[in-house]
């Protein structure tokens, strides 16, 4: 701000000095306010920059955590669901179980199809015995559309400790197979049960797990091998295993998984011998008979009832071969 000469005309020296001092003061005040505004704008810009950086870092961290804890594709229910059309068995496609999201319910089976869910820890000798006895039979029933088979890999502490972390490695490998080769899942499931160090009396590491899976697939699948090596689904395995061990479980009155395998037929816990194939068939027949009795009672009461589901039989599956 400058002083116009006309403003000085008619003023005494003293008045001129007073005017100049006042004008200088006004200029200093204006400069001070301008510096203050610039500083405030600078601080605001810095704050906005910091907030933007924090948001970007937070997004990256969140994305990494989500990916690190997300389950495999085709296992939204934390299990792979297998069905058949009379000729072949196939996996029911689904999204992944997202981090911090509840697991989805398994799809309802078609009318007349028996749902069977199996929680399997690959470090369990009982699980190996159950599938060695019933695996082929289950696969046949699923192929011919008699059952809907859901397999849920888990790693319970007692088996993981006894097998030097094999339960976790194998459950991760099973998840890798479900994600990248779901149609070959049962072959991988069998290979992982057979490689249980408590069954073979031979220690096994991730390289051994990867080799067992590659053999089951008839050759190496690089996506699966990398997935196994990187422990891609290890965090998911830990989460679903803890959920299974603590309960509650979906679709059943059984509270939790204390031992493996836990076999559920229409939500009812199988209590027969793991190494006796006739026990499983007898249990399925018993569950279906109970359902029929309830339906008959509902009819007597005048209520609507469901269609009776025939139990699978060895004769039926053998005749369909």
Q: For residues 54-79, b (16+ Cβ closer than 10 Å) or e, as one string? A: eeeeeeeeeeeeeeebbbbbbbbbbb
Pairing relationship of beta strands 147-154 and 114-121 according to DSSP bridges:
parallel
Pairing relationship of beta strands 147-154 and 262-265 according to DSSP bridges:
unpaired
pTM to 2 decimal places: 0.77
pLDDT in tens, 67-114: 557 999 999 999 999 999 999 999 999 999 888 788 999 999 999 999
pLDDT in tens, 226-264: 999 999 999 999 999 999 999 999 999 999 999 999 999
**How far is residue 35 from each of residues 24, 29, 32, 42, measured CA to CA in Å?**
16, 10, 5, 10
Distance CA 269, CA 1 (A): 92
Query: Taking the alpha carbons of 105, 157, 188, 147 in that order, is the dihedral positive or negative?
Result: negative
Contacts of 180 (CB under 8 A, 6+ apart): 221, 223, 224, 227
Q: Which tokens in the block code for residue 99?
A: 């981090």
């Amino acid at each position: 701000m400058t002083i116009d000469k006309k403003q000085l005309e008619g003023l005494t020296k003293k008045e001129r000095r007073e005017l100049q001092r006042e004008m200088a003061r006004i200029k200093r005040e204006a400069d001070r306010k301008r510096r203050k505004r610039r500083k405030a704008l600078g601080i605001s810009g810095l704050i906005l920059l910091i907030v933007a950086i924090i948001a970007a870092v937070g997004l990256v961290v969140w994305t990494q955590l989500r990916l690190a804890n997300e389950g495999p594709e085709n296992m939204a229910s934390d299990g792979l669901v297998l069905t058949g059309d009379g000729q072949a068995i196939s996996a029911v496609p689904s999204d992944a179980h997202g981090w911090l999201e509840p697991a989805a319910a398994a799809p309802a089976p078609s009318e007349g199809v028996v749902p069977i869910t199996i929680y399997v820890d690959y470090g369990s000798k009982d699980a190996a015995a159950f599938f060695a006895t019933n695996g082929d039979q289950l696969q046949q029933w699923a192929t011919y559309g008699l059952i809907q088979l859901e397999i849920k890999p888990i790693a319970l502490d007692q088996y993981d400790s006894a097998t030097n972390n094999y339960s976790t490695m194998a459950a991760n490998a099973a998840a890798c197979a479900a994600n990248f080769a779901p149609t070959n899942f049962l072959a991988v499931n069998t290979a992982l049960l057979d490689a249980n160090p408590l069954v073979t009396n031979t220690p096994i590491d991730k390289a051994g797990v990867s080799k067992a899976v590659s053999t089951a697939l008839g050759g190496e699948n690089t996506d699966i091998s990398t997935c196994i090596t990187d422990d891609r689904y290890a965090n998911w395995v830990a989460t679903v295993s803890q959920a299974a061990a603590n309960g509650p479980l979906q679709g059943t009155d059984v509270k939790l998984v204390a031992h493996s395998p836990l076999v559920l037929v229409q939500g009812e816990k199988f209590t027969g011998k793991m190494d006796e194939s006739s026990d499983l068939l007898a249990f399925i027949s018993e569950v279906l008979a109970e359902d029929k009795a309830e339906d008959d009672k509902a009819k007597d009461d005048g209520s609507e009832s469901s269609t009776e589901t025939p139990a699978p039989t060895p004769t039926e599956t053998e005749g369909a071969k």
